[in-house]
Amino acid sequence: MTAGDPADQPRLLGRGSERILRACMTAIRPRGSGFDQPVDDDVLLGVDRYLSSLPPLLRVGMPLGMRLLEYGPPLFAKPRRWTTFSRLPREEQLAYFSGWLHAGGLRGNLALGLRTVIYLVFYQHPEVLASLGVDWEGRARDLVQERAALLAQRAQAGPASGRRGDDA
Amino acid sequence: MLDGGGRALALPAIPYPNVERGSAVRRDSVYAADVIVVGTGAGGATTAAALAAMGHDVLMVEEGDLHRTESFTTDPPTMLGRLYRDAGTSLIFGTPPILFAEGKCVGGSTVINGGMCWRTPDFVLDRWDREHRIPDVSPRAMQPWFEAAERILHVESNDERTWGRHSRSFADGAAKLGWPTRVNPRNMDRCVGLNNCALGCPTGAKQSMLVTEVPRALRHGARLLAQARVEKILFSGSRAIGVRGHLVGDNDRPTYRFEARAPLVVLAAGARHTPGLMMRSRLRSAALGRNLRTHPNAKVVGVFDEPLDPWIGAHQTHQIHHFLEDGILMACAAVPPGILAMGTPGLAAEHAARMRRYNHLMTAATLVEDTGEGRVRLGPDRQPVMSFRLSSQDVETIHRGVALTAQVLFSAGARSVWLPFAHLPEIHSVDELAKIETLLRKPGKIELMTVHIMGSARMSRDGGDGVVDPSGLVHGVTGLAVADASLFPSSIGVNPQETIVALALRNAERIAATLTRPKALRAQAASSVPAAERVPATASGVGR
């Protein structure tokens, strides 16, 4: 995934939503423990692509909910803050987001949804997987070839070794 | 799946003749057949292949797209968007809400399941026989259908060489407690243990409907209309005569209208959308949408000192059935980091510290045979919405199942265990298991998910307490049948794939018996389509 590829440009979120989503990522992205890769732009694109495959109700509701998160600090921050979420310092953003996450109801569900998608995309980024020592993609390539070889061997062995349940 | 140089690897390609995709159609269309099968999952594809093999003209209608094995990748966000309904974000409302995932693609949920193939437990079949008075479902009566299902699904156990370290450790933990484990029978052909089952098997080893019954139906002359969303069943009096809906584009948005006519319509859209479709079509039945069962799953994660490398090895190789009659099934399964991270507690640095130990984590779960009751209703947008209320017995069973699963993990050597309870997120020793027993029962504090729903259009002898008869034919309606997990009379407590296939095979012959003189009926159905709207034989890959 590269940020410059037009096919990977955000498809659902406008500039305002993108700013809010970036603030969410800044607040909650994994930090330390070897997870400081500069992948935020890629994660943003991945989240946007994923959000665009949500059902229509959520495609409409998610950007609206993000506006509520952005303009909510005067109402929901503890203590109240007369600014927007994306302008809060990072530690306050984290505390504010955490408050939403534990608020339950629609606010809790929205925060949980954003957290879920951000972490899903973040931890599947190739650089993050590499830092965990996980090479799922490389293993998949090897095993697809291994199975192709197994099937080729079976085909050479003749029809007697064919699979069950196939009436072709 | 491409190799490092971008070339397609040499897996044998499966031919899919007679397929039309909704996104390729540029006008309203009308189709005619002997049988319309709505949905191509375990029940739909099996029924379609069985009826096509008998010589009937079958049209399969599937809302999702045809994604071939070669297109499957290991990237969860991409594959969730392609293969899952709502990109995997469906929810069953209630306290707690239950996260639900099902497939929306040709092959249905069989494309994204773990491939476990268990026969319906004998005690469940006995219950269906005695309490629900369903004829011909006793263990003995069902045996030939299970055998046939296992041939179709190509059921075998994973070669030991494909077992991961985490799977062996889980089995060892159970063995130390004296609890026998059972090696999973799975629908696969030379599985090499990639563990990408939930995102579509890129090796083609999993014998999902995508690579078995859908192509078999097509080889027998059936047709497949993909990217076609059925919105309504059409009736003439009390006889079903077809379906109507919209084709959808690659962006999943509706484009042109379509109508399909046939003397027999088989619904296999799953236990949420099958009753939803019947409700939208104004079918009335006291039991329709009721009796929804959900097999709630509670996740339990063990943290180990030694590396387990949970991304290496087959998806799920063992289950513990020792407590099955108490409604508890336990298993461990490896999940990719992104999927595990979704449910891992904490934010920012705290989350990072937990996930850093990914290679030392074992993800296990307890599946509960539920006794509570759920419902499917139509929402304001006329789409089916599910709700479920855990019974007090379910809550107790979940707590016991979690405690037993944690016990297995400690027995296997876990240093600590993450629990699915917001008010008791972690315990550090086997001595702390007692905390689960004394934990205040707060259903809203339990984190649950499921991939099995059933029972929302259940079988019954008469229409009073069920929707379909023991053959799957809808009570009080001619020419309409159900062939998915909706028709289960109760929860079954094990993975439902084989039960769905076995019942579909059993019922296909009975359903086919209602199709007397199929050619004549097909002509009759076709004649009811206005001549101007008929698809010429050469107009598309489907019309003939």
Starting at the earlier edge strand, list the strands of the sheet with B58-61. B19-21, B223-226, B58-61, B35-38, B264-267, B480-482
Give the helix/strand (H/E) hosting B450: strand B448-450
Q: Which residues are CB-neighbours of B222 under 8 A, at least 6 positions away?
A: B18, B48, B49, B51, B52, B57, B58, B59, B60
For residue A100, the SS3 value is helix
Burial of A33 (0-12, 13-18, 19+ CB in 10 A): middle
Q: Which residues are CB-neighbours of A146 under 8 A, at least 6 positions away?
A: B192
Amino acid of residue A35? F
- Which pairs from A31-36 meet CB under 8 Å and 24+ separation? A31/B348, A31/B349, A31/B352, A32/B349, A32/B352, A32/B353, A33/B349, A33/B352, A33/B353, A33/B355, A33/B356, A34/A131, A34/B352, A34/B356, A35/A128, A35/A131, A35/B352, A35/B355, A35/B356
- The overall average pLDDT reported for chain A is 86
CA distance A164 to B306: 40
pLDDT range class, residue B334, cuts 50, 70, 90: confident
Say whether B349 and A32 touch across the interface (CB within 8 A).
yes
Say whether A122 and B338 touch across the interface (CB within 8 A).
yes
Buried (b) or exposed (e) across A68-79, using 16+ Cβ within 10 A?
bbbebbeebbee
Place of tokens 């405690």: B403
Tokens of B346: 């904490």
Say whether B77 and A120 touch across the interface (CB within 8 A).
yes
What is the DSSP secondary-structure string of B76-141?
Answer: HHHHHHHHBGGGG-EEEESSS-EEE--B-BTTGGGGTS--B--PPPHHHHHHHHHTS--TT-SHHH
For residue B17, the SS3 value is coil
CA distance A102 to A125: 27
pLDDT over 50 (residue B533): no
Q: Considering only A25-39, B416-430, B448-462, B519-533, which range has the smallest mean pLDDT?
A: B519-533
Closest by Cα among A59, A101, A153 to B10: A153
pLDDT over 70 (residue A5): no
Give the helix/strand (H/E) hosting B36: strand B35-38
The catalytically annotated residue of B246, B295, B318, B452 is B452
In the prediction, which pLDDT does A53 show?
85
State CA B293 to chain mean position distance.
13
Closest by Cα among B44, B192, B11, B182 to B110: B44
Say whether A123 and B219 touch across the interface (CB within 8 A).
no
- Give the gap in angstroms from C-alpha B31 to the nearest C-alpha of chain A: 27
- The overall average pLDDT reported for chain B is 92
CB-based contact (8 Å) between A57 and chain B?
yes
CB-based contact (8 Å) between B445 and chain A?
no
Residues A89-129: tens digit of each pLDDT: 999 999 999 999 988 888 998 999 999 999 999 999 999 99
pLDDT range class, residue A40, cuts 50, 70, 90: very high
In the prediction, which pLDDT does A160 show?
54
Residues B395-433: tens digit of each pLDDT: 999 999 999 999 999 999 999 999 999 999 999 999 999
CA distance B539 to B527: 18
Residue of B nearest to A47 (CA): B77
Amino acid of residue A65? G
Q: Which residues are CB-neighbours of B256 under 8 A, at least 6 positions away?
A: B22, B25, B26, B27, B28, B29, B246, B247
Residues B14-23: tens digit of each pLDDT: 999 999 999 9
Strand duo B328-332 + B373-378: pairing: unpaired
Total beta-carbon pairs less than 8 A apart between chain A and chain B: 169
Tokens of A39: 């992948």
Place of tokens 């085909």: A155
Is B452 marked active-site?
A: yes
Q: Considering only A148-152, B99-103, B498-502, which range has the smallest mean pLDDT?
A: A148-152
CA distance A133 to A137: 12
